[in-house]
Amino acid sequence: MNANQESLIVAAYAKFPVPQGAKLSYGTSGFRADALILESTVFRVGILAALRSLKTQSVIGLMITASHNQVSDNGVKVADPSGGMLTQGWEPFADAIANAATPEELVKLIGEFVKKENISFDGPKQAEILLGRDTRPSGESLLEAAKQGINSIAGSLATDMGLVTTPQLHWIVRARNKGLKATELDYFEQLSSSFRCLIDLIPNGSKSGETGDKLIVDSANGVGAEKLENLKKMLDSLVIEVRNSGEGILNEGVGADYVQKEKVVPEGFGPTDVGIRCASLDGDADRLVYFYVPSDTGNKIVLVDGDKILTLFAIFVKEQLSILDSDDSYHPRLGVVQTAYANGASTDYIKQLGLQVVFTATGVKHLHEEAEKYDIGIYFEANGHGTILFSESFLSWLEIRNSDLSSKSKGSEQQKAALRLLAVSKLINQAVGDALSCLLLVEAILQHMGWSIQKWNELYQDLPSRQLKVKVADRTAVTTANAETVAVKPPGIQEVINAEIAKYPRGRSFIRPSGTEDVIRVYAEASTQEAADSLANSVAKLVDKYLGLGLGGSG
């Protein structure tokens, strides 16, 4: 790093000192905090994004959002060249520069890192970063901070993509780096045309009329509302009514996180919606859950969560693969990835379909990494974040198989199955979970099957479950193993949890430190709601006993 570059960083630093007492870390979803303390962090992430672009000689994304958090929070995360999350190897550097308390320290950290990573400032390509943000009022000033960070690396280009959903930005970054069409309009066109293709391929005689006429979408008063309105204009076989499109407060009593955790109707929904197919997006439209309002139950809903979306996708993909009936030369590997929060009934059901299920730790980057190991890897968190990944080799095989079939038996069921899978691979976001593309795939599959939301929900019945949070002196005192299902520390706690679980038929429970809040999360499942509540409470008491009084630090 030359002196000129150093002085550019030092000059920009003056406007972005770290607020007193702030300690930030790049968690499962980037940096997240009260927006008031985030400018200095976003400025530094701008620098990081520019360095990442120089290192990879590719376009990088920088998204300003705090997803489902309250409106006063904000956050920032980086999209890698593939459109996926920032490589985990760079997270410690992100933490270090975010907390650098003087310009000298910042320059020193950057200098050392640039050397270690062998980053050249005079490579063939200058840094190029695409910036996106959600609808939070703090987004604009944070965008400015990001630009200043990027511009403090000489020669960098920052392009403002305006208001976008998180998955749109990731999609655009991926497309840019693959040399594909990469504007927002291209995104809408690809989604709508592949959706149309799936609808055109619905077998004659399917009872698609039974799916129900209309879908009502709760957009969490977030960025998804406007985007869904735009997408809607390009779809003619789908009636969508968008609610919570900005008239209320972002994520307050609305949105996928609220609906999934509270299992009650969001604002703007009620008794007049009984039986109708409804869906909720989160604040940045990367999570999706479905629900319906049953009759006479107050504000309660029947939740159709990420696990059930996963199950629907798995059934459809498996059906197409078996129609395609692979020849001897190629056996596509289909796998499902879940976390310990997946309802046990969903896992049983998917295994019973004959599919392999793998578990990873919480956080989509872990699920994504595991799903990439398959020809078709389907992953979902119960909270509604997930997607389907197709391997390049499988897609090439599918293209060849399709043209083969089209010359030998055009219009055959086999060829239609190949075309359906190709359409799914274009509709579904290959970079990250995307509520809008998942929504279109759910709608296409329901019409294909001729299923109502009620019929879909009846695939299996969720085991009653309960999630609790326990505040502790030090959440790092809990460490886990086996995809977070076993607590290794503090010593002895897993044994007493096991003894509790043994008291309940179909009991299952685990604890883990949250990556986004200062709490230990407790999850419990059992054969009745009372039993699940009681198991969760007992385990929460054990956590409190072991850690609540500050004993945890020594564990």
Instruction: List residues forming the annotated binding site for Mg(2+).
Output: 67, 282, 284, 286
Minimum distance, C-beta of residue 289 to ligand NG1, in the bound complex (Å): 11
Which of residues 422 and 431 has its CB atom nearest to ligand NG1 in the complex? 431
**Per the residue annotation, which of 29, 53, 67, 194 is the catalytic one?**
67
* Cβ 476 vs Cβ 513: under 8 Å: yes
Minimum distance, C-beta of residue 516 to ligand NG1, in the bound complex (Å): 4
Assess 362 for contact with ligand NG1 (CB under 6 A). Answer: yes
Report the C-alpha gap between 126 and 128 in whole angstroms. 6
Minimum distance, C-beta of residue 152 to ligand NG1, in the bound complex (Å): 29
Which of residues 261 and 408 has its CB atom nearest to ligand NG1 in the complex? 261
Where does this chain touch Zn ion (CB under 5 A) — which range of 262-270, 274-282, 350-358, 472-480?
A: 274-282
Binding-site member from 13, 341, 451, 510 for ligand NG1 (CB under 6 A) = 341
DSSP string, 357-396: EEEE-SSHHHHHHHHTTSSEEEEE-TTS-EEEEE-HHHHH
Where does this chain touch ligand NG1 (CB under 6 A) — which range of 34-42, 163-171, 369-377, 379-387?
A: 379-387
On the 0-12 / 13-18 / 19+ scale of CB atoms within 10 A, 358 is middle
Which of residues 80 and 286 has its CB atom nearest to Zn ion in the complex? 286
Straight-line distance from the first to the last Cα atom of the chain, in angstroms, rounded to the nearest whole number: 44
Interface with Zn ion (CB under 5 A), residue total 4
Residues 6+ apart with CB under 8 A from 134: 64, 65, 66, 67, 163, 165, 166, 222, 223, 283, 284
- 67 catalytic per annotation: yes
Select the binding partner of residue 17 from Zn ion, ligand NG1, none (C-beta < 5 to 8 A, by kind): none
Report the C-alpha gap between 520 and 387 in whole angstroms. 27
Which of residues 164 and 216 has its CB atom nearest to ligand NG1 in the complex? 164
* Cβ 111 vs Cβ 121: under 8 Å: no
List C-alpha distances in Å: 492 to 340, 460, 487, 489, 508. 21, 35, 9, 8, 18
Task: Please give the residues from 380 up to 399 whose contact with ligand NG1 meets the rule CB under 6 A.
Answer: 381, 383, 385
Assess 28 for contact with ligand NG1 (CB under 6 A). Answer: yes
Binding-site member from 39, 286, 307, 434 for Zn ion (CB under 5 A) = 286
Residue 330 exposure: Cα atoms within 13 Å on the Cβ side? 16
Task: Please give the residues from 461 up to 520 whose contact with ligand NG1 meets the rule CB under 6 A.
Answer: 514-517
Residue 150: name the closest of 122, 131, 137 by CA: 131
Minimum distance, C-beta of residue 142 to Zn ion, in the bound complex (Å): 17
- Phi and psi angles of residue 277, each rounded to the nearest 5 degrees, phi first: -70, 120
Residue 351: name the closest of 510, 483, 460 by CA: 460
Strand bridging mode 508-513 / 520-525: antiparallel
On the 0-12 / 13-18 / 19+ scale of CB atoms within 10 A, 162 is exposed
What residue has token string 């294909």?
Answer: 448
Binding-site member from 5, 41, 53, 67 for Zn ion (CB under 5 A) = 67
What are the structure tokens assigned to 282, written together? 């989160």
- Phi and psi angles of residue 62, each rounded to the nearest 5 degrees, phi first: -130, 115
Assess 29 for contact with ligand NG1 (CB under 6 A). Answer: yes
Select the binding partner of residue 151 from Zn ion, ligand NG1, none (C-beta < 5 to 8 A, by kind): none
Minimum distance, C-beta of residue 415 to Zn ion, in the bound complex (Å): 37
Where does this chain touch Zn ion (CB under 5 A) — which range of 273-281, 283-291, 439-447, 536-544?
A: 283-291
Select the binding partner of residue 284 from ligand NG1, Zn ion, none (C-beta < 5 to 8 A, by kind): Zn ion
Minimum distance, C-beta of residue 85 to Zn ion, in the bound complex (Å): 13
Annotated binding site for substrate: 381-383, 512-516, 521
Task: Please give the residues from 100 up to 129 whose contact with Zn ion meets the rule CB under 5 A.
Answer: none
Binding stretches for Zn ion (CB under 5 A): 67, 282, 284, 286
Binding stretches for ligand NG1 (CB under 6 A): 28-29, 67, 341, 362-363, 381, 383, 385, 514-517, 521
**Which residues participate in catalysis according to the annotation?**
67
